[in-house]
């Protein structure tokens, strides 16, 4: 008996749309990351990208619990001496709420070539409109907590 490995012809990718209105950031991110990685697929193989496409709308309506919205700081480094840049959650939310959701989800994916490829299947939008109607995405309901 030989071990079964799914080929690229066996993989059928679905499209899911998630409304982030009133959803907790971490709970939304874990569900989206597992869909992107394909972990809910019965043929899941860790070293093959079997994930689906995920579209997240209403990114500006995401919620954090507790005091995280006042305390959370996003840091990045420009590559130059003294180039550490910090931005608070409140300021980044006003400027680019899509970036907050993208960073949370991509931080839960593998840190390698395959993880970066999984991240390309994530689409995050500020409003309730998205340009992916032709793919006929299914609405993905998350448990309200």
CATH classification of the domain holding 69: 3.90.1180.10
Tell me if 131 is assigned to some domain.
yes
Kindly state the DSSP code that residue 111 receives in the 8-state scheme.
S
Select the more confidently predicted residue: 92 or 2.
92
Tell me if 7 is assigned to some domain.
no
Tell me if 43 is assigned to some domain.
yes
Q: Is 15 helix (H, G, I), strand (E, B) or coil?
A: strand
Structural domain span for residue 125: 15-139
Tell me if 72 is assigned to some domain.
yes
Tell me if 83 is assigned to some domain.
yes
Q: Output the pLDDT for position 102.
A: 97
Number of structural domains the chain divides into: 1
Residues 6 or more apart whose CB falls under 8 angstroms from that of 50 comprise 6, 11, 37, 38, 41, 43, 44
Tell me if 105 is assigned to some domain.
yes
Tell me if 2 is assigned to some domain.
no
Tell me if 3 is assigned to some domain.
no
What gap in Å lies between CA 6 and CA 62, rounded to an integer? 36
**Rounded to two decimals, what is the model's pTM?**
0.92
Neighbours of 24 (CB within 10 A): 16
CA angle (30, 104, 43) in 5-degree steps: 35
**Segment 41-80, tens digit of pLDDT:** 998 999 999 999 999 999 999 999 999 999 999 999 999 9
Let me know: does 106 contact 119? Beta carbons within 8 Å. Answer: yes
Average predicted confidence (pLDDT) for the chain: 95
């Amino acid at each position: 008996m030989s071990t079964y490995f799914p080929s690229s012809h066996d993989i059928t990718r679905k499209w899911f749309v998630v409304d982030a209105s009133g959803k907790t950031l971490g709970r939304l991110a874990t569900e989206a990351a597992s869909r992107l990685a394909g972990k809910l697929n019965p043929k899941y193989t860790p070293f093959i990208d079997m994930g689906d496409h995920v579209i997240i709308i209403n990114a500006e309506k995401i919620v954090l619990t507790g005091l995280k919205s006042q305390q959370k700081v996003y840091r990045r480094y420009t590559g130059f001496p003294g180039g550490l840049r910090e931005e608070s959650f409140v300021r980044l939310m006003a400027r680019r709420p899509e970036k907050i959701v993208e960073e949370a989800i991509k931080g839960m994916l593998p840190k390698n070539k395959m993880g970066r490829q999984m991240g390309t299947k994530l689409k995050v939008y500020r409003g309730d409109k998205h340009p992916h109607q032709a793919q006929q995405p299914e609405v993905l309901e998350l448990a309200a907590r």
